[in-house]
Amino acid sequence: MTLKLDQIDYRILEELQRDASQSQRALSEKVGLSQNACWRRLKALDAAGVIRNHTVVLDRNQLGAGLVVFVMIKTRHHSASWLKRFRTHVSSIADVIDFFRIGGEYDYLLKIITRDMASYDEVYKRLIEEVELETVTSYFAMEAIEEQRPIPM
């Protein structure tokens, strides 16, 4: 289903990215719609797949998951069967929170969040145990300057 978005839809999406827990009444007031009109637009955005899910942003440091690692991967394998096995394997590792196939010198980029270096080492060992990889390069974040920012409208 394709949905043509207008300025009110974008305002709804901006508000939801700021606070998805706000009441429908508060949201409708902020975007200048009646509650019913706002509800209909929300349902249309959901049905069109513009809104994929409703989540909360957690403070990873308070949860003891303070280490952020960006992993760059090169492979010599590019067959459909290898890719399927690789995707399934990486997706099964809970510490991998973002997983991209990229262009350039590397083939894949993973964002891993875990407790500490020992925990990352366990993730690394698990990552390399199932599929052959040519190069695995890890970059460790020292500070999150901006993280999980809203998508600009």
pLDDT digits (tens, 9 = 90+) for 41-98: 999 999 999 999 888 889 999 999 999 999 999 999 999 999 999 999 999 999 999 9
CB 76 within 8 A of CB 108: no
Model-level pTM?
0.86
Tens of pLDDT, residue by residue over 41-54, are 999 999 999 999 88
CA torsion through residues 78, 80, 81, 84, sign: positive
Taking alpha carbons only, the member of 13, 105, 19 closest to residue 57 is 19
Place of tokens 């899910």: 53
Find tokens 């989540």 and name the residue: 55
Please tell me the distance from the alpha carbon of residue 60 to that of residue 51, in angstroms, as a whole number. 24
- For CA atoms 109, 113, 116, 121, give the dihedral sign: negative
